[in-house]
Structure 1
């Protein structure tokens, strides 16, 4: 599929399929396509670096394909630590972006954060559109470094345990 072609709006919510070690190359292609524009804007697009960074951090057992209308359009990797849920990767093919799929994934991850009582953490490349996406989902910037911004989102309390719940 041509990555610049816009897919029609989904008729149904995405579903998820577990990734396996055999999926590395296809996930790498999704990551390259999703990050290329942002990395080119800051003069840091290097396919070998993108490959190495994914290989160094990717854990197949913690990774899910994002599937919409029978097509794998992205993936995410959620790592659980003792103190947080860490969204290591969330990438959508450019043609699948802007259709609400990322927000559907984020709603599910926010529910998991509430269920576990753990904050949700994520890192985004400076000047990437992903920063606006995370801010829209109530993440708060907690630190930064030369190339990345680091965010955290406190877990929501279930309505039944909220002190003002009626």
Structure 2
């Protein structure tokens, strides 16, 4: 990854940032999907799998989050969120490419779910993910090594 972009382990002290990040990046998509957007729902999702959460930092500033669930049979990109002010700069692309390079070395498939209407689907497609299924609210996507 670019020297300006780093990942660090999230801690409980990051919760206020994670809630703000989630609200800024996900509220509109969740509303469109009919999913809850109240403060408690955001808080619970931010706390979910905090032990695997990594904060994306750019020049020492916290700007995003990645949660990657790893198993021997495959990896699941549970969340990737970048603050709106930093979107469109290739940071998400760089984080995903680094993760996919690691997955190729481990010879595992990476899966993810993305809400219908979320423009991130175009990023995922560009990076080699293919739609493998869908529900009423989201697409299931997979990238094979």
- Normalising by structure 1, report the TM-score: 0.78
Q: Residue 81 of structure 2: SS of its match in structure 1?
A: strand
2:27 is the counterpart of 1:36: yes
Name which of 143, 147, 150 aligns with 2:133: 143
- Larger relative strand fraction: 2
TM-superposed CA distance for 1:45, in Å, is 5.9
Structure 1: 4+ residue segments shifted above 6 A:
none
Kept in 1, the 8 Å contact 2:63–2:86? The answer is: yes
2:36 is the counterpart of 1:50: no
TM-superposed CA distance for 1:130, in Å, is 1.2
Structure 1 unaligned residues grouped into runs of 5+: 1-10, 156-166
1:29-55 Cα shifts (integer Å, max 9, x gaps): 111111123234455462343333344
Match of 1:119 in 2: 109
Match of 1:14 in 2: 5
Looking at structure 1, the residues matched to 59 and 11 of structure 2 have their Cα atoms a distance apart, in angstroms, of 21
Looking at structure 2, the residues matched to 12 and 109 of structure 1 have their Cα atoms a distance apart, in angstroms, of 16
Q: Max radius of gyration: which structure?
A: 1
2:64 is the counterpart of 1:74: yes
Alpha carbon RMSD of aligned pairs, Å?
1.9
**Total equivalences in the alignment:** 143
